């Protein structure tokens, strides 16, 4: 009998330790797994699929349930607003959100606040104090790095166009401004054309690229601010027969990796999307427990080109 009592006591102590350590799923202390609803900006690009994989792995590790969804394209603001609304209707314990338009989701954020549902922003910040933290790349710094490599490739002189994925999402704004500001400060010999917006859609970005090329015969380079934009630029340049143009991209994906290896793109900035997904879930679990979070969780960025694309440190963060 004594052995049985000791075994039972040990089992109870182990179970309690799991709860206290956060390894078990009962973060709420009510016997059920917490549920975290995650809404991204899109679903079609490999970037978002890798964010999803990172979130799923972290959720399994922490014993929580998640959902992960996003609109078909990164221009479908209304569709995303509906997804956030529907997610709130499922009574989650926390929300993860990569907003396409901060103003459009503001009513949903206020509802989450009223319902005491912690909000974790990711990929790009939301113009609101409601999210407890933002798990993201420093997009301005990353875009500045892209600009530096473009300037180097052009010898500090020439004409450069920008095809940006959004003028409302913070990531689009920061990747535009970071590129433009660096060029103005450090490369006065480079003329920047008016920024064009393609919604992150590859086909639309390709059409924009072809129009830019047709209207600017002295064009020397083009910057694409995310996966869809960059691949659209590559496609548009190819269809225009202007293989001498320097292309700098943002994000990864097999298409950009191929373009770099084939010499059609000089290089790009990659993020760490798996870590972004993991950090969203980890931060949400901490928020559910009532723990204090930093205002920003920086997830890093890396320049890659043909010289370092096979480096293990770079290969780890390329998604394809």
The CATH code that applies to domain 139-270 is 3.40.50.2300
Chain mean position to CA 267? 18
Q: Give the three-state DSSP class for 143.
A: helix
Contact present, 85 and 95 (Cβ < 8 Å)? no
Residues 218-261 pLDDT 10s: 999 999 999 999 999 999 999 999 999 999 999 998 999 999 99
Smallest CA-to-CA distance from 63 within 28, 101, 103 is with: 28
- Residue 14 CB neighbour total at 10 angstroms: 9
pLDDT of residue 276: 96
Share of the chain above pLDDT 70, in %: 91
Residues 209, 163: contact at Cβ < 8 Å? yes
**Rounded to whole angstroms, how far apart are CA atoms 40 and 49?**
10
Reported as a pLDDT band with limits 50, 70 and 90, residue 26 is low
Each domain of the chain, given as residue ranges in start order, spans 27-137+273-300, 139-270
Helix (H/G/I), strand (E/B), else coil: 158: strand
pTM reported for the whole predicted model: 0.81
Q: What is the mean pLDDT of residues 50-73?
A: 97
Q: Is the pLDDT of residue 212 over 90?
A: yes
For 166: left if phi > 0, alpha if psi spans -120 to 50, otherwise beta; the answer is beta
For residue 27, the model assigns a pLDDT of: 53
Pairing status of strand 296-298 against strand 133-136 = parallel
The alpha-carbon radius of gyration of the chain (Å, integer) is 22
Percent of the chain with pLDDT over 90: 84
Q: For residues 87 and 68, what is the distance between their CA atoms, to the nearest angstrom?
A: 10
Q: Is residue 61 within 8 Å of residue 51, measured between CB atoms?
A: no
Across 271-297, average pLDDT? 97
C-beta separation of 259 from 304 below 8 A: no
Separation in Å, CA 28 to CA 43, 79, 178:
30, 31, 41
pLDDT for the residue 18: 37
CB 289 within 8 A of CB 64: no
| Domains 27-137+273-300 and 139-270 alike in fold | yes
Q: What distance lies between CA 160 and its chain's CA centroid?
A: 25
Q: What is the C-alpha separation between 119 and 122, in angstroms, rounded?
A: 10
Angle between helix 139-153 and 170-186 (nearest 10): 40
- Residues 52-66 have a mean pLDDT of 98
End-to-end CA distance of the chain: 58
Rounded CA gap, 219 and 238, in Å? Answer: 14
For residue 239, what pLDDT is reported?
98
27-137+273-300: what fold? Rossmann fold (3.40.50)
Q: List Cα–Cα distances, 25 to 13, 20, 21, 289, in angstroms.
A: 16, 11, 10, 12
């Amino acid at each position: 009998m004594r052995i049985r009592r000791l075994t039972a006591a040990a089992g109870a102590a182990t179970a309690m330790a799991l709860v206290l350590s956060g390894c078990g799923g009962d973060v709420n202390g009510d016997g059920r797994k917490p549920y975290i609803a995650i809404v991204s900006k899109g679903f079609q690009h490999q970037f978002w699929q890798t964010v999803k994989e990172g979130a799923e792995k972290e959720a399994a590790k922490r014993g929580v349930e998640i959902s992960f969804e996003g609109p078909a394209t990164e221009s479908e603001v209304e569709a995303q607003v509906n997804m956030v609304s529907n997610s709130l209707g499922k009574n989650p314990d926390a929300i993860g959100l990569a907003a396409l338009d901060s103003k459009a989701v503001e009513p949903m954020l206020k509802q989450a606040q009223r319902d005491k549902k912690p909000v974790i922003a990711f990929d790009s910040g939301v113009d609101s104090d409601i999210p407890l933290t933002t798990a993201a790349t420093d997009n301005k710094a990353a875009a500045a790095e892209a600009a530096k490599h473009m300037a180097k490739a052009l010898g500090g002189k020439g004409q450069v166009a920008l095809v940006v994925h959004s003028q409302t999402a913070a990531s689009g704004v920061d990747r535009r401004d970071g590129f433009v500001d660096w060029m103005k400060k450090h490369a006065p010999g480079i003329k920047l054309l008016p920024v064009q917006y393609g919604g992150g859609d590859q086909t639309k970005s390709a059409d924009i690229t072809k129009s830019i090329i047709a209207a600017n015969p002295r064009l020397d380079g083009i910057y694409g601010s995310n996966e869809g934009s960059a691949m659209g630029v590559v496609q548009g340049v190819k269809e225009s027969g202007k293989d001498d143009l320097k292309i700098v991209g943002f994000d990864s994906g097999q298409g950009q990796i191929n373009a770099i290896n084939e010499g059609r793109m000089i290089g790009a900035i990659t993020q760490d999307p798996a870590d972004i997904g993991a950090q969203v879930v980890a931060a949400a679990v901490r928020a559910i427990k009532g723990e204090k979070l930093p205002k920003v969780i920086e997830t890093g960025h890396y320049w890659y080109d043909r010289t370092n694309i096979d480096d293990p440190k770079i290969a780890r963060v390329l998604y394809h």
